[in-house]
A and B are shown apart, each in its own frame.
Chain A
Amino acid sequence: MSILDKFAPLQHAYGELQREGSDPFAVTFDSVRSPVEATIGGRPVLIFGSNNYLGLTFDPQVIASGVAALQQYGAGTTGSRIANGTYQGHAGLEDGLAAFFARRSAMVFTTGYQANLAMISTLAGRDDYLLLDADSHASIYDGSRLSTAQVIRFRHNDPDDLARRLRRLEGQPGHRLIVVEGIYSMLGDRSPLVEIAQVKREAGATLLVDEAHSLGVLGENGRGGAEEAGIEDDVEFIVGTFSKSLGGIGGFCTSNQPNFDILRLCCRPYMFTASLPPSLIASVQRGLERLSEQPKLRHDLHRNAQRLYNGLSSAGFILGPHPGPIVSIRLPDVAIATAFWTALLRAGIYVNLALPPATPDSHPLLRSSVTAVHTDAQIDQAVAAMTEIGVALGVLEPGND
């Protein structure tokens, strides 16, 4: 008997996947030449499976800022934000984020995962209630497990179900913290934030919006789903990440709460981990400026997203409900999804494979994503490859395109 025996069912399922000739969870990039071009197993591939929405990973100014900070401040801080891990860059990035979101304060965390873990576990205490969209990211669920609050799920993107569940709590003491995401990571669908905000106001609840996939993507200034929906004043806490549109790693929360900074002394995932290296902080700071300086990137992203979505939709694939940077194809079963993913990689297109139970409706998904810097020819090449494989595997009717 081994302590790992409990994972035997998972080991079995993983073994089946590997026997089918592919391992989507162990892809190694030999080299990466641009936000959209790489080499895997010695063969060139186009990357249609990242979160590099604005293509900033290779922005020369973003790289130069990181290099300069690496040379000036060294490789890492070796300490927590509340000890020796706060440099001018960390404080400057927090000021920059607060200014970008037109809010009073911001806190920076070492990952986006930790930002949700920290905020949700710390804000919702004993006697409080957390109301989570059922399709929430794992970091939100894990934050709720770390919290001492009671946790209630409501149906995905269903403000009426949220309202019913808030009504059932009438008369109970404690705060109600509602948590939703601007764009959901698996299907790329958007939260109905206008309606969610209305329910929140009527119930006197508090609202946290995770803009991980919508920062730099939605809203006139790229502030995310809350800006696009015109409900920023209803959102007490905006959480986000640096590892998608900003091309780095890290997370943040920004707020107008006057005593927000007290959280620095009670958020355990903020206090008990080392801070981000100065080079990364400098790159993200420059990335945030590039995002504001170049609204064209956002426009190009949406144009490309529409091209990919239209191409796959016209071919006859079942996609998520909203065109956007995440375009997911729903497939009938794991065997077809795995064969599809493998054939696509052989054809030089890398996408993400998402398998149940990580998917919203028990169906596997081929999750593709597009960036501002894909060319029309690259998108057309991906659509053609997906269509050809879709026909070969019987997912599409021949001639549907």
Chain B
Amino acid sequence: MTDCKEIVEHIVAHLRTVIPPGTEISTESRIVADLGLDSLAVMNFVMALEDEFDVSLTMDNLAQVETIADLAGTLAALINRVAE
């Protein structure tokens, strides 16, 4: 089992490379509304995470994601389904 806390750390590490230095990030940060990523930046950032965890998010999966915690939960469900 890969836990959400570990996934959140990966997500934050990726986000740090694309948002202005010093931006506050928490699990409840909204990826678009709070961190200011546009749709293209979100796609590139999600694709990097998909490569890292070797999973593919569907567009339905992505539509449900608003916060970092949502994204971590979605990734955890996919990763653990692959591992089953």
Q: Do A and B bind each other?
A: yes
A contacts, CB < 8 Å to B: 134, 144, 150-153, 155, 161, 164-165, 168-169, 356-357, 361-362
- Which B-chain residue is minimally distant from A149 (CB atoms)? B58
Q: How far apart are the CA atoms of A47 and B57 in the complex, in Å?
A: 42
Stretch among B7-15, B22-30, B38-46, B67-75 lining the A interface: B38-46
**Which residues in A have their C-beta under 8 angstroms from that of B41?**
362
| Distance of A205 from chain B, by nearest CB (Å) | 14
Q: Are B58 and A362 in contact (CB under 8 A)?
A: no
Q: Does B54 contact A (CB under 8 A)?
A: yes
> Which chain B residues border A152 with CB–CB below 8 Å?
56-59
B59 near A362: Cβ-Cβ < 8 Å: no
Contacts of B57 in A (CB 8 A): 152
> Chain B contacts of A361 at CB under 8 A?
40
A134 engages B43 (CB within 8 Å): yes
Consensus secondary structure, chain B interface = helix
Q: Tell me which residues across on chain B come within 8 A of A150, comparing CB atoms.
A: 58, 60
Identity of the chain A residue whose Cβ is nearest the Cβ of B46 in the assembled complex: A153
Bound form: Cα–Cα A68–B57 in Å: 53
Instruction: Give chain B residues whose Cβ lies under 8 Å from the Cβ of A356.
Output: 38, 40
* Residues of B contacting A144 in the complex (Cβ-Cβ under 8 angstroms): 59
Shortest Cβ gap from B28 to chain A (Å): 23
Min CB distance, B58 to chain A, in Å?
Answer: 5
Q: How many A-B pairs with Cβ below 8 Å?
A: 32
Q: A151 — which chain B residues lie within 8 A by C-beta?
A: 58-60
A357 touches B40 (CB 8 A): yes
Q: Is the CB of B40 within 8 A of A362?
A: yes
> Could you tell me if A357 and B38 are in contact, using CB atoms closer than 8 angstroms?
yes
Let me know if A168 and B43 touch, CB within 8 A: no
Minimal beta-carbon separation of A128 from chain B (angstroms): 12
Assess the A168–B55 pair: CB atoms within 8 A. yes
Please give the distance in Å from B21's CB to the nearest CB on chain A. Answer: 20
Q: Does B35 contact A (CB under 8 A)?
A: no
Tell me whether B77 is interfacial, beta carbon within 8 Å.
Answer: no
3 nearest A-B pairs in the assembled complex, by CB-CB distance: A151-B59, A150-B58, A165-B56
Given A153-B59, A356-B40, 8 new contacts (CB under 8 A): A151-B59, A152-B59, A153-B43, A168-B55, A168-B56, A356-B38, A357-B39, A357-B40
**Interface residue from B38, B54, B59 paired with A168 (Cβ < 8 Å):** B54
Classify the interface of chain A: helix, strand, loop or mixed.
mixed
In the bound complex, how far is the Cα of B24 from the Cα of A169, in angstroms?
36
B47 CB within 8 Å of chain A:
yes
CB neighbours of B59 from chain A (8 A): 144, 151-153
Query: What residue in chain A is nearest B41 (Cβ atoms)?
Result: A362
Q: Kindly provide the distance from the CB of A382 to the nearest chain B CB, expressed in whole angstroms.
A: 29
Measured between alpha carbons, how far is A144 from B60 in the docked complex, in Å?
11
Measured between alpha carbons, how far is A153 from B40 in the docked complex, in Å?
A: 12
Q: Give CA–CA (A152, B82) in the complex, Å.
A: 16
- Chain B: minimal CB distance from A10 (Å): 14
- B41 to chain A minimum Cβ distance, whole angstroms, is 8
- Return chain B residues, CB-CB under 8 Å to A134: 43
Query: How long is the Cα–Cα vector from A361 to B47 in the complex, in angstroms?
Result: 15
- 13 examples of A-B residue contacts, CB within 8 angstroms: A134-B43, A150-B58, A150-B60, A151-B60, A152-B56, A161-B47, A168-B82, A356-B38, A356-B40, A357-B38, A357-B39, A361-B40, A362-B40
Q: How far is the CA of A161 from the CA of B48 in the complex (A)?
A: 11
Docked CA distance A64–B39 (Å): 47
Q: Which residues in B have their C-beta under 8 angstroms from that of A169?
A: 56
B80: min CB distance to chain A, Å: 14
- When distances are taken between beta carbons in the complex, the residues of chain A under 8 Å from B60 are 150-151
Most A CB atoms within 10 A — which of B38, B40, B43, B55?
Answer: B40
Say whether A155 contacts B47, CB under 8 Å: yes
Nearest B residue (CB) for A134? B43
